[in-house]
Amino acid sequence: MSAISPDAESDHLLERILSSLDDDKAEEIVTIDLRGRSSVADHMVICSGRSSRQVGAIAEKLVERLKTELGRSAKIEGKDAGDWVLIDAGDVLVHVFRPEVREFYQLEKMWMPSAAGLAPLQS
């Protein structure tokens, strides 16, 4: 009997999150590997919704899917404003932005010193 490694579990969670974001038409999905760089999480996902309403809906559906499909509770912040929603799913942090807010904060640049490290979602 072999236990699932923490990395495999983290990667499975990341895959499910990316699938949910894709299902809900999130745009410009970027993943950042934080392993070895932060003790907060293994992965960070940054994406955009076209409007405050879509940002809130993307976040809400993601939290619902994690609960029903993986039995995992996630903390959510900022859903009511709909400009920038943070979902803390444990090993994966998800940021859902309106495009203007994402451009203003530029989290990708803060966490990835070189553009070569960005990994856009391949469809």
Tens-digit pLDDT profile for residues 77-101 = 998 888 999 999 999 999 999 999 9
The DSSP-derived string for 51-112 is SHHHHHHHHHHHHHHHHHHH----EEESTTT-SEEEEE-SSEEEEEE-HHHHHHH-HHHHH-
In the structure, what pLDDT confidence band is assigned to residue 57 with cuts at 50, 70 and 90? Answer: very high
Q: Mean pLDDT over residues 53-80, rounded?
A: 95
Amino acid letter at 49?
Answer: G
The reported pLDDT for the residue numbered 74 is: 94
Backbone phi and psi for residue 92, each to the nearest 5 degrees, phi listed first = -130, 130
pLDDT category at 1 given cuts 50, 70, 90 is very low
**23-32, 36-45, 46-55: segment of lowest average pLDDT:** 36-45
Class for the domain spanning 6-120: alpha beta
* 39/60 Cα distance (integer angstroms): 26
**Distance (Å, rounded) from C-alpha 78 to C-alpha 84?**
6
Q: What is the rounded distance in angstroms from the CA atom of residue 116 to the CA atom of residue 12?
A: 24
Which sequence spans correspond to the domains of the chain? 6-120
- pTM (two decimals): 0.85
pLDDT for the residue 70: 92
Dist. CA 54–CA 121, nearest whole Å = 19
Asked if the model's pLDDT at residue 31 lies above 80, the reply is: yes
pLDDT of residue 111: 78
